Amino acid sequence: MKFLRISLVVLLAIAFVVGSTGCKTAATPTPTPTPTPAPAAKKLKVAFVYVGPHNDGGYSQAHEDGRLYLQQNDPNVETTYAESIPEGSQSEKTFRDYASAGYDLVFGTSFGFMDAMVNAAKDNPTTKFMHASGYKRSDNLGTYFGRMEQPDYLSGLIAGKMTKTNKIGFVLPFSIPECIREVDAFTVGLREVNPKATVTVVYTNSWFDPAKEGDSAKSLLNKGCDIIVSGVDSPAPLDAAFKAGKYGIGYDMDMAAGMKTPEEAKSVLTSRIWHWGPYYLKVAQSVEDGTWKSGDYWGGMADGIVDIAPVSSAVPQAVIDYVNTRKQLILDGKYTPFDGPMVNQAGKVIVPKGTTMSDADQLNLQWFVQGVIGAIPKSGS
């Protein structure tokens, strides 16, 4: 009996162990938490408003190249553009629409957008606006432009050495100060090397009208001009010059690069060009890092925002060397095209020798220097 009780106890113990083992469940592993992705950084939304087509071959396309430069060099921006926007009150809706759509920074690239941008900026204080060539500013509206007069002067040196008739034609859009500055600076360079040469001005009263620009160039060619200078937004004046067997000087972009044949490209002596991209990148980054402030920027060749394009092989090396020497003086801050003496069409000294026209006077310039043929209408753009 004692043996049976011991055996029974042992059997019960074994049964208990086996039962307990059979009922035991495997431990459930603790799941690894999936990390919550960090919210994507909010991109800076930047808009550009052009007065002409984005591919006009001139002014608006130079700004479009600047927009693309910004897009390619700052991954934190998102850009867009509106093209062929009429100046004046019609443009105001475009600026307001961009502000309403949440754009952080809006560039208006034409002078005639000024009042529309003033109004839009007033009602949209969280949007930063930048106006090219204007002069009205507020807490969220700044202005910017470049000293195109510097490459204008250099191209005048080339024209003075290359003309045979001593007659240069200048196709000008309007008589606003920025346009008058270009003619005056060009003429200063022209007559520095060729005192007998003159510049005849015609107005198109439009920034972009290829047909009118071409016709204006033809009218100048018919007057004996053998070099046509473009101050408008398309290559049409240069096309007209080439077809007449004459030379042209481009504007906004290196217009020789856009010509159809090597012969046509050679007929473009040079171009006065814009490099907007680095400036647009700098402005966008200042908005991103919170350092942007309203103000006025007016840079020159030393900043890289304006320059003269490569000179045609038709121009003798001695002329190119002289141009480069004068360019270096500008880069070194030792010369400006508005250094005196400067004499107006009537022969009166306006800027005396040993002085330089102030920036304020340049920004309001409404007189031609001696050597220019043509009048300044009482109203500009």
State the pLDDT at residue 70. 98
Beta-carbon contacts of residue 352 (< 8 Å; ≥ 6 apart): 340, 341
Please state the rounded mean pLDDT for residues 42-61: 96
State the pLDDT at residue 252. 97
Contact 286, 279 (CB under 8 A): no
Predicted TM-score (pTM) of this structure: 0.88
- Closest by CA position to 61, among listed 277, 237, 355: 277
What is the C-alpha separation between 171 and 248, in angstroms, rounded? 11
Confidence of residue 19 (pLDDT cuts 50, 70, 90): very low
State the pLDDT at residue 33. 53
Q: Using the predicted structure, report yes or no on whether residue 113 has a pLDDT greater than 80.
A: yes
* Three-state secondary-structure class, residue 76: coil
Contact 249, 227 (CB under 8 A): yes
| % of the chain at pLDDT higher than 90 | 87
State the pLDDT at residue 89. 87
What is the C-alpha separation between 289 and 66, in angstroms, rounded? 20
Confidence of residue 36 (pLDDT cuts 50, 70, 90): low
**268-297 pLDDT, tens digit each:** 999 999 999 999 999 999 999 999 999 999
State the pLDDT at residue 13. 40
Ordered domains of the chain (ranges, CATH): 44-146 (3.40.50.2300), 149-273+303-373 (3.40.50.2300)
Q: Using the predicted structure, report yes or no on whether residue 379 has a pLDDT greater than 80.
A: no
Confidence of residue 22 (pLDDT cuts 50, 70, 90): very low
Confidence of residue 32 (pLDDT cuts 50, 70, 90): low
What is the C-alpha separation between 136 and 299, in angstroms, rounded? 18
**126-154 pLDDT, tens digit each:** 999 999 999 999 999 999 999 999 999 99
**182-225 pLDDT, tens digit each:** 999 999 999 999 999 999 999 999 999 999 999 999 999 999 99
Confidence of residue 41 (pLDDT cuts 50, 70, 90): confident
**68-110 pLDDT, tens digit each:** 999 999 999 999 999 999 998 889 999 999 999 999 999 999 9
Residue by residue, DSSP assigns 134-197 as: ----BTTEEEEEE-THHHHHHHHHHHHHH-SSSEEEEEES--SHHHHHHHHHHHHHHHHH-TT-
Q: Using the predicted structure, report yes or no on whether residue 326 has a pLDDT greater than 90.
A: yes
Confidence of residue 39 (pLDDT cuts 50, 70, 90): low
